């Protein structure tokens, strides 16, 4: 492990590790690091611990602080992009022509642009994800994988994992390391953003509606944020698209009512993948909510600002300066986190990207316009995809990104019904941001917490919900 991580003699102590496995699983249950089971995704009668690491993983303190410091700039960047209709139209023009899902979202965006926004309050709850790129000189640098502007998950459960790892380390006799596991209350920070938007909406009777998926294994992640809102006397409800389809309406002032309750804030924990829209009625429900006076998190323009194509366009020379004129330090801080991002648009530049990817596929990741984990393409699979689409517009549904190569460490990944074994792992650091804008006034802009997820080096892609990564905590070194 890296310097000042968990020592090898602890990792290799079979008896201690076996004892700690039982302690760890019980601690996770005690502290509420929970998920429903695959067998009963919509029932809390049967629950299990959410997958997590036995020990916290080492993360450079300097790089960790860099990620926290740049988050408020990323909040502003997402918000500025969402307000720039010319940029969004130009950036997404090629993608919406071939990607039906992004095209449907964009058509809703255009309709709202044409009709005019009903609500001037904007709420953003996002998560910027990074890996530490290990160069030959052994120096790690922070490189952004993506920014999630819709349904950024695990703010709830990541608020509970520090106590679990502290307890494990105390039992292992590692008091000094236990004191290096940071407090992290992302749930409270995300709830503060929702609270501010709810207050500005201005009706104490109005509710916050969590728009949720059909299968809700990850309900406890939501519940921690819900409970933070109830502590503040802010009522919440949970509804699916089908509930909105059947019971939603707008009054003459465009106030949104669902099941007869006025909705102040729609918090989308669903709607980020094509399969979330099971029928035309789902799309009609999305449009109805966008038209309404309710604050949307995210609204349709902020959703589009989080697409991979926008990420690639922002990495172009001079584009950040468009959004931060006369702010070279902000531009520098943001750009320092970018890795190579390349267009696959039709034309000489896109042709060059195709040739580059086909000649060295192991150096890159091919990314479609999708969220939720498990969508990216790696290695020889890149050649298969690009050989199929290289001469057609279909290739513009993707972008190409340099592959980030973190330095592996050793840890144990605790999963239900999986054997305990020492595994070579890599980690991904997420940083949560919350912002609220009313008209032209930014009334809240904060970094509100972090998330560390770890996976075996055998896996290239995928998150916790996708069954690949597990929850973790940074042990600052």
Active-site residue, from 94, 124, 146, 271: 146
Identify the pLDDT of residue 432.
98
Please report, for residues 80, 89, 257, 261, 474, the alpha-carbon distance to residue 246 in angstroms, rounded to integers and kept in the order given.
35, 33, 11, 14, 44
- Catalytic-labelled residue, pool 240, 291, 453, 455: 453
Domain boundaries, the chain: 8-339+412-476, 340-403
Q: C-alpha angle 425/315/324, rounded to 5°?
A: 120
Give me the helix-helix angle, 219-231 and 186-201, nearest 10°: 50
pLDDT tens digits for range 173-195 = 999 999 999 999 999 999 999 99
Catalytic (active site) residue 32? no
Residue 324 tokens, joined: 């931060």
pLDDT band at 232 (very low <50, low <70, confident <90, very high): very high
pLDDT of residue 411: 96
b/e map 19-54, b = 16+ CB within 10 Å: ebeebbbebbeebbbbbbeeeebeeeeebbbbbbbb
| Residue tagged active-site, from 25, 127, 143, 437 | 127
Backbone angles phi, psi at 205, to 5 degrees: -85, -20
Give the whole-number percent of the chain exceeding pLDDT 90.
92
Using a CB cutoff of 8 Å and minimum separation of 24, what contacts does 462-467 make? Answer: 462/373, 462/374, 463/153, 463/372, 463/373, 463/374, 464/50, 464/51, 464/153, 464/154, 465/153, 465/217, 465/218, 465/372, 465/373, 466/372, 466/373, 466/374
Confidence grade of residue 4 (pLDDT, cut at 50, 70, 90): low
Q: What is the mean pLDDT of residues 204-217?
A: 96
Q: Write out pLDDT tens, residues 391-428.
A: 999 999 999 999 999 999 999 999 998 999 999 999 99
Burial of residue 140 (CB within 10 Å: 0-12, 13-18, 19+) is middle
Q: Which one is catalytic: 195, 213, 290, 371?
A: 371
Q: Buried b vs exposed e over 322-345: b needs ≥16 C-beta within 10 Å?
A: ebbeeeeebbebbeebbbebbbbb
How many other β-carbons are positioned within 10 Å of the β-carbon of residue 424?
Answer: 11
371 is catalytic: yes
Lowest mean per-residue pLDDT among 22-36, 138-152, 323-337, 363-377: 363-377
Question: d(Cα 308, Cα 381) in Å, to the nearest integer?
Answer: 19
Q: With bands split at pLDDT 50, 70 and 90, how would you rate the model's confidence at 461? A: low
Q: Supply 327's token pair.
A: 């702010």
How many CB atoms lie under 10 A from the CB of residue 444?
A: 19
DSSP characters over 325-362: TT-HHHHHHHHTT---EE---SSHHHHHHHHHHHH-GG
Q: What is the pLDDT, as a whole number, of residue 233?
A: 97
Catalytic residue check, 367: yes
Q: Closest by alpha carbon to 100, among 281, 283, 244?
A: 283
Whether 3 has a pLDDT exceeding 60, the answer reads no
- The reply to whether 148 belongs to the active site is yes
* pLDDT at position 18: 96
Is it the case that residue 250 has pLDDT exceeding 80?
yes
Q: What is the pLDDT of residue 1?
A: 40
CATH fold of 340-403 reads Dna Ligase; domain 1 (3.30.1490)
What 3-state DSSP class applies to 437? strand
Q: How confident is the model over 90-120, as pLDDT tens digits?
A: 999 999 999 999 999 999 999 999 999 999 9
Mean pLDDT of 218-233: 97
114 is catalytic: no
Is 453 a residue of the active site? Answer: yes
Give the span between the Cα atoms of 147 and 429, in whole angstroms: 12
Catalytic residue among 308, 309, 395, 403: 308
Q: 24-41 pLDDT, tens per residue?
A: 999 999 999 999 999 999
Model confidence at 463, pLDDT cuts 50, 70, 90, reads low
Check if the beta carbon of residue 53 is closer than 8 Å to that of residue 410.
no
Both tokens of residue 472?
């973790």
Catalytic residue among 240, 309, 367, 437: 367
8: annotated active-site residue: no
375 pLDDT band (50/70/90 cuts)?
confident
Q: Is 308 a catalytic residue?
A: yes
**Across 44-65, average pLDDT:** 96
pLDDT at residue 460 is higher than 90: no
- 120: annotated active-site residue: no
Tell me which DSSP letter residue 202 carries: T
Q: Is the pTM of this model over 0.85?
A: yes
In the set 128, 153, 159, 411, the catalytic residue is: 153
Q: Is 56 in contact with 158 (CB distance < 8 Å)? A: no
Q: Band of the pLDDT at 137, cuts 50, 70, 90?
A: low
Does residue 455 carry a pLDDT above 90?
yes
* CA distance linking residue 170 with residue 173, whole number of Å: 5
Catalytic position from the list 148, 158, 427, 445: 148
Parallel, antiparallel, or unpaired for β 57-59 and 474-476? Answer: parallel
Give yes or no for a cis peptide into 462 (omega within 30° of 0): no
Per-residue pLDDT for 2 more than 90? Answer: no
Q: Which residue reads 């919900």 in tokens?
A: 465
Q: What is the mean pLDDT of the chain?
A: 95
Catalytic residue among 103, 372, 373, 462: 372
Tell me the pLDDT tens digit for each residue of 311-324: 999 999 999 999 99
The dihedral through the CA atoms of 287, 289, 291, 296 has a sign that is: negative
């Amino acid at each position: 492990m890296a310097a000042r991580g968990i020592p090898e003699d602890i990792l290799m102590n079979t008896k201690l590790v076996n004892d700690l496995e039982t302690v760890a699983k019980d601690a996770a249950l005690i502290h509420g690091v929970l998920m429903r089971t695959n067998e009963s995704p919509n029932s809390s009668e049967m629950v299990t611990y959410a997958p997590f690491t036995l020990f916290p993983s080492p993360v450079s303190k300097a790089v960790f602080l860099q990620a926290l410091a740049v988050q408020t700039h990323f909040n502003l960047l997402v918000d500025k992009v969402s307000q720039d209709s010319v940029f969004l139209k130009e950036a997404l023009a090629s993608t919406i022509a071939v990607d039906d899902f992004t095209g449907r979202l964009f058509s809703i965006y255009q309709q709202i642009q044409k009709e005019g926004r009903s609500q001037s309050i904007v709420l953003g709850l996002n998560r910027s994800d990074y890996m530490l790129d290990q160069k030959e000189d052994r120096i790690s640098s922070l490189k952004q994988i993506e920014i999630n502007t819709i349904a950024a998950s695990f703010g709830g459960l990541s608020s509970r994992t520090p106590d679990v790892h502290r307890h494990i380390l105390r039992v292992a006799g590692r008091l000094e390391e236990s004191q290096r596991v940071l407090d992290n209350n992302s749930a409270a920070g995300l709830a503060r953003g929702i609270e501010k938007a709810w207050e500005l909406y201005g009706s104490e009777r109005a509710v916050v509606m969590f728009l949720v998926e059909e299968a809700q294994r990850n309900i406890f992640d939501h519940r921690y944020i819900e409970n933070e809102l109830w502590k503040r006397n802010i009522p919440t409800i949970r509804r699916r698209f089908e509930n909105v389809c059947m019971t939603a309406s707008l009054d003459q002032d465009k106030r949104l009512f669902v099941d007869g309750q006025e909705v102040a804030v729609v918090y989308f924990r669903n709607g980020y993948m094509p399969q979330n829209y099971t029928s035309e009625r789902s799309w009609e429900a999305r449009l109805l909510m966008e038209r309404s006076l309710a604050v949307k998190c995210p609204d349709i323009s902020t959703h589009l600002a989080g697409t991979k194509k926008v990420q690639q366009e922002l990495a172009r020379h001079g584009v950040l300066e468009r959004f931060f004129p006369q702010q070279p330090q902000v531009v520098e801080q943001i750009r320092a986190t970018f890795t190579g991002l390349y267009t696959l648009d039709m034309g000489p530049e896109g042709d060059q990207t195709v040739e580059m990817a086909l000649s060295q596929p192991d150096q890159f990741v091919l990314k479609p316009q999708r969220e939720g984990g498990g969508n990216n393409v790696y290695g020889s699979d890149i050649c298969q995809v690009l050989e199929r689409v290289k001469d057609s517009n279909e290739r513009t549904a993707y972008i190409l990104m340099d592959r980030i190569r973190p330095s592996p460490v050793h840890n144990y990944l605790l999963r239900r019904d999986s054997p305990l074994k020492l595994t070579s792992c890599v980690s991904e650091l997420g940083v949560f941001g919350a912002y609220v804008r009313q008209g032209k006034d930014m009334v809240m802009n904060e970094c509100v917490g972090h998330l560390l997820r770890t996976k075996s080096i055998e896996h290239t892609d995928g998150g916790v919900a996708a069954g690949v990564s597990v929850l973790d905590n940074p042990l600052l070194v």
